[in-house]
Amino acid sequence: MFVHGGFWHLLGNMWSLYIFGDNVEDRLGPVRYLLFYLLCGLASGLTHLFLNWHSQLPTVGASGAIAGIMGAYFILYPKSRILTFIPIFFLPYFIEIPAFFFLGLWFLFQFISAAGTPAHGGGIAWWAHIGGFVFGIIFLQLFLFVPELSISRQIRKKTTKKKSHRLQVIKPTSPWTTTDAPKVYETIVVTPREAQLGTRKLLSLSSGSRKKLLRVTVPPGSRHGTVLRLAGAGQQLQDGTQGDLYLRVAVR
């Protein structure tokens, strides 16, 4: 679980763990989450072992354990929105997909790939992914019955999230093409630490078929309700020029 075949293998696994792991950890607490992660990794490895009993190829990687995290996320947060990057003609296109659809499609792809892969062949351990996902759902139900330890509450206080999401999606409440309100007011979310020290964010503005990707700097010392002005990022005016976008800082 702690050995990988290369940099991209490690990066892909850690990216998936970063996306889904923190929410599951918030629900289970750090101690239960650690035990849950290790058990999912062991169960996924055993699943691959039993279905490839005579294989002489080694198996490395954390994807089986992370698949267990994804299975738990599927049960805990089915209606959450997964921000998904889809490149269309080299343009950055971001869309929010419900977690149950995103993870359900992912699991279906793993199953189809496993069924179409020759036995004992090298490559991706599809059955480890499937086993991890299924056992993640099973182990979650068991761990939810285990009470959280006091040490978990102490760790929570010291590991409270200090950063908000670097990429945030904003859907303007009024269309960009109207001319009656050239100023658009929206909200950007930061943590107290980010408001104190300052931060940089990426904003994906979505209105119908129109998309914009903006870089925003939140200056140090910002407070809840501080308004930031982005010149030329608002609605299109009647004379063809662009209005301004005003962002209200929400400290949470």
Comparing 24 with 115, the larger pLDDT belongs to 24
pLDDT computed for residue 52 by the predictor: 86
Please check the confidence at residue 180 and state whether its pLDDT lies above 50: no
Mean pLDDT in the chain? Answer: 81
Total domains present in the chain = 2
For residues 20 and 139, give the distance between their C-alpha atoms in angstroms, rounded to a whole number: 16
Q: Are residues 90 and 152 in the same domain?
A: yes
* Range of the structural domain that residue 102 is part of: 7-158
Q: Are residues 152 and 171 in the same domain?
A: no
Q: If DSSP codes are grouped into helix, strand and coil, which group holds residue 66?
A: helix
Tell me whether residue 2 is in a domain: no
For residue 190, what are its two tokens? 């930061």
Tell me whether residue 129 is in a domain: yes
| Strands 167-170, 199-207: pairing kind | parallel
Q: How many CB atoms lie within 10 A of CB 39?
A: 19
Q: Are residues 107 and 199 in the same domain?
A: no
pLDDT band at 101 (very low <50, low <70, confident <90, very high): very high
Please check the confidence at residue 248 and state whether its pLDDT lies above 80: yes
What average pLDDT does range 119-123 have in this prediction?
A: 63
pLDDT computed for residue 107 by the predictor: 93
- CATH number at 240 reads 2.60.260.20
Return the residue matching tokens 């309100």: 181
Q: Are residues 153 and 31 in the same domain?
A: yes
Share of residues in the chain with pLDDT > 70 (%): 79
Q: Are residues 49 and 141 in the same domain?
A: yes
pLDDT band at 177 (very low <50, low <70, confident <90, very high): very low
pLDDT tens digits, 47-61: 999 988 888 888 899
Helix (H) or strand (E) holding 227: strand 227-230
